[in-house]
């Protein structure tokens, strides 16, 4: 049975005053080098040997992405989603001086209140994503958070499953997410499904100084392919990094070895902002004081009991990896490929 999530969203155009928006392009360059999102390790224990987000990765490899298969080579498919990311602010820590005004943006806080209809908004993180020509983001939902269960301590795919199962809603931390853009990008549309997986995708064109805010933990979304240039995507390995060289030029390096060069105008840069949304101070206090937390064992036991009721498990639990794949298959239902 498909779950129907709260799907309100707000678009901001323009988002910031122009000088502030342009300063964020310089901030991106001043920050320095960017590592790969795929540097996050493999799972241990439950889901052993699988990537943290194997749910989205396996769906992308199976379907070829939102617009269907356009590549047959596995290495090319992997390179298309091997993008670059770094964190600008987290909690009270600021890693990119100059990001503070966006981190505490009153406009984003008001939009978050509108999306979730909750008055208390606490900004939590700001990070940047950089995609090269020919890259895209597989359709997915973001990693949610529950009291006692988060991505720093537990497998990311398991937390996604917990949310999509609907069994732990009383413990969920509603998170508003804004994505904002500071280029007129060729391709790279932000595609999302506000009416659920059976509805049409909305493909939001990426324009300078615009933003959208929604519940990305619940609403499936992705990034369509950034327009390709006249050479293929190179093999991209997790140890590689992306460096600015000034004058609108960037280079991917493997240690000291140059892998590939790009123009800023051919890349795609976005900033994501996330904030917790609380109904009242008591709800925020329960989170801060950890007075009513979940634990991973309780989650796994409840999911397995539900699988038994659904007739998906008979007798003993499957081995760790098989159980992980069964949980994703049962609870995380992706929108089909579409040309919408």
Can you give the CATH number for the domain in which 321 is found?
Answer: 2.60.120.620
| pLDDT of 43 | 66
* Within a domain: 16: yes
Phi, psi angles (nearest 5°) of residue 276: -75, 145
pLDDT in tens, 215-263: 999 999 999 999 999 888 898 988 999 999 999 999 999 999 999 999 9
Q: Is the pLDDT of residue 1 over 50?
A: no
Which tens digits make up the pLDDT trace of 3-53? 445 578 999 999 999 999 999 999 999 999 999 987 566 566 787 788 888
Lowest mean pLDDT among 23-32, 70-79, 91-100, 116-125: 70-79
Is residue 146 over pLDDT 90? yes
Comparing 203-207, 239-243, 253-257, 334-338, the range with the smallest average pLDDT is 334-338
Summarize pLDDT for 150-201 with one digit per residue, the tens.
888 899 999 999 999 999 999 999 999 999 999 999 999 999 999 999 999 9
pLDDT number for residue 105: 97
How far CA 246 is from CA of 25, 30, 127, 197, 228, in Å, comes to 12, 10, 21, 42, 22
User: What pTM was estimated for this model as a whole?
Assistant: 0.92
The answer as to whether 2 is a domain residue is no
The total number of structural domains in the chain stands at 1
In a domain, 235, yes or no: yes
pLDDT number for residue 2: 46
Among the listed residues 289, 244, 225, 261, the one whose alpha carbon sits nearest the alpha carbon of residue 76: 225
pLDDT at 32: 94
- Hunting for tokens 């840069």 — which residue is that? 269
Say yes or no to pLDDT of 278 above 50. Answer: yes
In a domain, 1, yes or no: no
Does any domain span residue 269? yes
In a domain, 97, yes or no: yes
pLDDT of residue 193: 94
When pLDDT is cut at 50, 70 and 90, the band that residue 137 belongs to is very high
Enclosing domain of residue 99 = 10-331
Average pLDDT over the chain reads: 91
Is the Cβ–Cβ distance between 200 and 209 less than 8 Å? Answer: no
In this predicted model, what pLDDT tens digit does every residue of 307-331 receive, in sequence order? 999 999 998 999 999 999 999 999 9
Local structure of residue 309 (DSSP, 8 states): H
Does residue 3 lie in a domain region? no
Specify whether the CB–CB gap between 171 and 145 falls below 8 A: no
* 263 falls within a domain: yes
Query: Inter-axis angle of helices 54-63 and 156-165, to 10 degrees?
Result: 80
């Amino acid at each position: 049975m498909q779950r129907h999530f709260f799907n309100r969203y707000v678009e901001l155009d323009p988002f910031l005053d122009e000088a502030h928006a342009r300063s964020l392009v310089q901030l991106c360059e001043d920050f320095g080098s960017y590592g790969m999102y795929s540097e996050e390790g493999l799972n241990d224990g439950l889901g052993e040997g699988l990537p943290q987000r194997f749910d989205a990765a396996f769906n992308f490899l199976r379907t070829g992405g939102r617009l269907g298969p356009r590549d047959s080579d596995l290495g090319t498919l992997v390179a298309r989603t091997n993008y670059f990311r770094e964190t600008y602010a987290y909690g009270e820590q600021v890693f990119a001086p100059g990001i503070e005004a966006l981190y505490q943006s009153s406009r984003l806080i008001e939009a978050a209140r509108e999306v979730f209809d909750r008055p208390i908004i606490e900004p939590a993180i700001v990070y940047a994503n950089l995609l090269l020509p020919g890259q895209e983001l597989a359709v997915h939902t973001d990693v949610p958070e529950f009291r006692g269960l988060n991505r720093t301590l537990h497998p990311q795919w398991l937390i996604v499953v917990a949310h999509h199962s609907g069994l732990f809603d009383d413990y969920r931390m509603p998170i508003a997410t804004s994505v904002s853009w500071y280029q007129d990008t060729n391709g790279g549309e932000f595609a999302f499904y506000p009416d659920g997986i059976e509805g049409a995708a909305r493909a939001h064109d990426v324009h300078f100084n615009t933003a959208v805010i929604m519940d990305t933990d619940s609403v499936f979304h992705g990034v369509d392919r950034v327009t390709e240039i006249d050479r293929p995507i190179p093999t991209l390995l997790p140890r590689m990094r992306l460096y600015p060289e000034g004058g609108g030029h960037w280079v991917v390096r493997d240690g000291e070895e140059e892998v590939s060069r790009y123009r800023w105008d051919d890349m795609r840069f976005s900033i994501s902002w996330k904030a917790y949304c609380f109904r009242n101070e008591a709800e925020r206090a329960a989170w801060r004081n950890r007075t009513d937390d979940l634990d991973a064992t309780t989650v796994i036991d409840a999911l397995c009991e539900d699988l038994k009721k659904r007739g998906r498990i008979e007798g003993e639990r499957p081995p760790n990896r098989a159980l992980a794949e069964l949980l994703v298959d049962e609870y995380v239902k992706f929108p089909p490929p579409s040309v919408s």
